[in-house]
Structure 1
Amino acid sequence: MTAISKKTKRYPSDLTDEEWERIAPLMPAPGRTGRPREVEFREVVNAVRYLVRSGCGWRMLPVHFGPWRTIYGWFRELARRFLFQTIHDVELMLDRERSGREASPTAAVVDSQSVKAPHAETRGYDAGKKIVGRKRHIAVDTDGRLLMVHLTPADISDSAGAQMILDAIRKRWPWVKHLFADGAYDRLKLMDKAAYLDFVLEIIRRSQEQAGLQVLPRRWVVERTFGWMMRWRRLVRDYERRTDVSIAMIHVAMGGILIRRNAHP
């Protein structure tokens, strides 16, 4: 990490030259007509990564990134084009190939996380975690790489949230056949939908004989993914009003991890 930090311009969250070369071809091309574009996309991405990593507000961005309204406007435009999701998915497949796996996964682990969302348009109360906010329903591959994320009010059950992401998993990752989950997902409606979409849903249960912390096979990787998210301080709580903006923030964070891993193996 020390060697990588020496390659960044100002902050540890800045893109190195190697990282920028990987994502530069995915940036929008300039328009054929109109005023020449003055914004530098590398600085826009650096600013967004700084915001998600540090947890600061838009108005508190350092001035050398440029006007915060310009950064925010381009962030919303790039999120609308699903650019951060595209970068994340491309780097995910490249990282899988680099580790000797097939680009598209065949198995996934599903779980959820409730976080406080003080400014969300719609919120719910998770009675189990005693949290008012949103719930993040995610699916990861067996190494912990994020495959799918869906946001709901926190009062939506785990099994109901999982039903919402099964269709999306089938469309984006068609080779996924096997799903691992904990006992909260052992529900008849979810099992029926999984069977209808040709998924095999395996419930990993805790041992009743063993007390204390248990590291369950295939289950611990999703908890590690949540831990990776919590290192990006903007994700410790859900500060966004809109769910699409919040999902873009998650892809910025998880994509940043994969970009750095691939550019500096």
Structure 2
Amino acid sequence: MSRKAYPSDLTDTEWQEIKPLLPAENAIGRPRQVDLREILNGIFYVLSEGCRWRALPHDLPPWQTAYNYFRHWQRLGIWQQIHTQLRQRVRKSVNKAELPTAGMIDSQSIKTTGKKGEVYGFDGGKLVKGRKRFILVDTLGLLLAVVVTEANFPERLGGVVVTMEAAPLSNNLILIWVDAGFSGENFARVIQQVCSAQVEVVCRSQREFQVLPKRWIVERTFAWWNQYRRLSKDYELLPEVSESMIYTVMIRLMLKRLAQSHTTTS
């Protein structure tokens, strides 16, 4: 790489982690003429800086090329496949089983940059116009599944949907922690039917700020996303693109963690 590196660029160690997971070059057709490492650097630049695709610096690949790769891999489910393999590696690096047995569900209401078609609403509880992100994470805060809905989507229904989205991972879950917004016997019964996991509600004992047992883990995951300006709002027209943006951010975070673990052990 002859240009000056950006803070969002992949290091050599991070590139070696993700390189084997990328789609192989098609044996039919023209040879691949782009540098996939630079394509990823362009995508990670957009995520980190929160800029428009058209605002990619000129020393990175053309924005059309970076965007087309992102959307093509999104349609094929490549981002989610890479994410799954990296999550397994991160769990193994800290002596955890590849499949988690406990997790946490939470939601985050997020503003959009305008009305986004049908997937748009108003969260009356948090007074947010836009969308809602439902996530299921493991005890490390790593993402198991994400579902983006309109902001007025019911909490309990969203919790069920994201648990179903995590299948077959969720089938291995024994316990799921939630906050009071997901409480209720009906919700617990449906979750048990979906994945056989028990639901444990973690409630506040005081009105002031309080660090809740286990619940802080999923809140930390939301905090990680604050490092990536593209997730400060939902800028995407399609919710499935928003979900892929989140998976890609988690890929970037896990690559950093794996690289740090290599540095520690070497």
Normalised to the residue count of structure 1, the TM-score between the two structures is 0.92
Query: In structure 2, what is the Cα distance between the partners aligned to 1:130 and 1:145?
Result: 28
Alignment of 1:232-251 (within 5 A): 232-251=228-247
Which position in structure 1 is the counterpart of 2:253?
Answer: 257
Q: For the residues of structure 1 that align with 2:187 and 2:170, how far apart are their CA atoms?
A: 19
Q: Distance in 1 between matches of 2:184 and 2:151?
A: 18
Q: Contact 1:170/1:176 (CA < 8 Å) preserved in 2?
A: no
* Paired residues for 1:171-210 under 5 Å: 171-197=168-194, 198-207=196-205, 210=206
**Match of residue 61 from structure 1:** 56
Contact 1:124 1:132 in 2 (8 A): yes
Aligned to 1:4: none
For 1:9 and 1:238, the matched residues in 2 are separated by: 30
Are the equivalent residues in 1 in contact too, given 2:103–2:177 (CA < 8 A)?
yes
Q: What is the correspondence of 1:154-165 to structure 2 with a 5 Å cutoff?
A: 154-165=151-162
| Secondary structure, counterpart of 1:101 in structure 2 | coil
Q: 1:118 Cα deviation (Å)?
A: 2.3
In the alignment, what sits opposite 1:225?
A: 221
Q: Separation in 2 of the partners of 1:211 and 1:165? A: 29
Q: Is the 8 A contact 1:163 1:193 kept in 2?
A: yes
Shift of 1:173: 4.0
| Structure 2 residue ranges without an equivalent (≥5) | 262-266
Residue 13 of structure 1 pairs with residue 8 of structure 2: yes
What is the CA RMSD across the aligned residues, in angstroms? Answer: 1.5
Aligned-pair identity in percent equals 38
Contact 2:145 2:163 in 1 (8 A): no
Residue 247 of structure 2 aligns with an amino acid whose one-letter code is H
Structure 2 residue 17 is matched with structure 1 residue 22: yes
CA displacement at 1:172 relative to structure 2:
3.2
2:95 maps to which of 90, 93, 100: 100
Structure 1 unaligned regions, length at least 5: 1-7
Q: Deviations over 1:150-173 (max 9, x none)?
A: 111000121110111122223234
Aligned residues: 256
Q: Name the counterpart of 2:126.
A: 129
The 1-side partners of 2:8 and 2:171 are apart by 33
| 1:3 equivalent in structure 2 | none
Query: What is the CA-CA distance between 1:30 and the residue it aligns to?
Result: 1.9
Question: Are 2:40 and 1:45 equivalent residues in the alignment?
Answer: yes
Deviation at 1:61, TM superposition (A): 0.3
| TM-score, normalised by the number of residues in structure 2 | 0.92
1:9, distance to aligned residue in structure 2 (A)? 5.3
Q: Provide the rounded CA distance (Å) in 2 between the counterparts of 1:33 and 1:143.
A: 41
Give 3-state SS (helix, strand or coil) of 2:167's partner: helix
Tell me the secondary structure at the aligned position of residue 59 of structure 2: helix
CA separation in 1, counterparts of 2:185 and 2:150? 22
Q: Give the letter for the 2:166 counterpart.
A: I
Q: Which moved more, 1:238-247 or 1:173-182?
A: 173-182
Shift of 1:84: 1.8
